[in-house]
């Protein structure tokens, strides 16, 4: 049993914290909104009044917040993680942020006496609830092994992909593939509907062939029904694609389809759909096709 602090109890962080409680760990949680803390307490966790309070006695500190500036805000300053965690604690950043920021913050963590691991996740809200997240982990091998049991409590695929920052780089590639696949599934569904094909039957046969993918499995039914309850919001995927395009430019890598998908995601957000699930790319395909939504 390990004492774990979870900073950020949102769509992903809260179910992850609950699964850590179920695994037998002592979990302290902090979030800007008290209702999320109350939900963790109701499941057997402990609420913290501040970041400093949450991390003071923690062996492992997990941060799960939206973007690079948010991570910088929770780890820095007099009330942040670095100033209040005990020496030798492991800091696991499960957020999705820029790889260069991850590397820089890991160096700052080391100066504060902490062991830094970047461990962004994939699988959306469903994966977080089910404890089946895919976790791409960057950091020193010994540090990764030291927290593996913690990561195994929230994910079913936990892979050490390289040194610090590598997890964030792999997550960027993940977001590139996911966005592109959603876009293609959206185009295929609008195409099928235009030809008055039974889309549910079509999805069933497509999912069983070479076109099969997790987007068809997890998202197609909601896309057909036009229900876009956020498992992963457009706003966040828009942010992630900004990370991808910036990192690709820095490395001199061409991502023409990825760049186009990033533009489409940005356009969907500009239309006011930032709070919807990223599968709402279907709405943009309909708009571009001159077709009204169901």
Catalytic residues: 171
SS3 per residue for 42-103: HCCCEECCCHHHHHCCCCEEEECCCCHHHHHHHHCCCCCHHHHCCCCCEEEECCCCCHHHHH
Q: Which parts of 201-273 are beta strand (E)? A: none
Longest dimension (CA), the chain: 63
In angstroms, the CA 4 to CA 26 distance is: 6
Residue 57 · residue 84 · CB < 8 Å? no
**End-to-end CA distance of the chain, in Å?**
50
Residues 6+ positions from 155 with CB-CB distance below 8 Å: 121, 123, 127, 131, 132, 133, 134, 135
As beta bridge partners, residue 62 has 6, 92
CA distance linking residue 151 with residue 94, whole number of Å: 10
CA-to-CA dists, residue 242 to 60, 121, 207, 250, 254, angstroms: 30, 17, 30, 12, 14
Q: What residue ranges in the chain does DSSP mark as E strands?
A: 3-7, 26-30, 46-47, 60-63, 90-93, 115-118, 121-122, 133-138, 155-162
């Amino acid at each position: 049993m390990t004492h774990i602090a979870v900073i950020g109890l949102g769509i992903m962080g809260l179910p992850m914290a609950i699964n850590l409680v179920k695994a037998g760990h002592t979990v302290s949680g902090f979030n800007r909104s008290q209702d999320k803390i109350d939900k963790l307490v109701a499941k057997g966790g402990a609420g913290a009044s501040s970041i400093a309070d949450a991390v003071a006695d923690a062996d492992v500190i997990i941060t799960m917040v939206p973007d690079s500036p948010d991570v910088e805000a929770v780890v820095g300053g007099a009330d942040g993680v670095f100033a209040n965690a005990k020496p030798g604690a492991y800091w696991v950043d499960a957020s999705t942020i820029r790889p260069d920021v991850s590397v820089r913050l890991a160096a700052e963590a080391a100066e504060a006496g902490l062991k830094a691991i970047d461990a962004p996740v994939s699988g959306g809200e469903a994966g977080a609830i089910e404890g089946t997240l895919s976790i791409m982990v960057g950091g020193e091998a010994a540090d990764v092994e030291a927290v593996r049991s913690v990561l195994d409590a929230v994910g079913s695929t936990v892979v050490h992909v390289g040194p610090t920052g590598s997890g964030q780089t792999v997550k960027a590639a993940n977001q590139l593939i996911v966005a592109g696949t959603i876009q293609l599934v959206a185009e295929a569904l609008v195409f099928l509907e235009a030809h008055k094909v039974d889309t549910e039957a079509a999805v069933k046969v497509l999912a069983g062939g070479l076109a099969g993918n997790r987007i068809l499995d997890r998202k197609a039914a909601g896309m057909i029904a036009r229900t876009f309850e956020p498992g992963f919001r457009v706003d966040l995927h828009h942010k992630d694609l900004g990370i991808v395009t910036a990192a690709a430019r820095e490395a001199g890598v061409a991502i023409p389809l990825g760049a186009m998908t990033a533009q489409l995601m940005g356009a969907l957000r500009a239309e006011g759909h930032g709070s919807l699930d990223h599968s709402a790319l279907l709405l943009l395909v309909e708009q571009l096709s001159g077709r009204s939504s169901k």
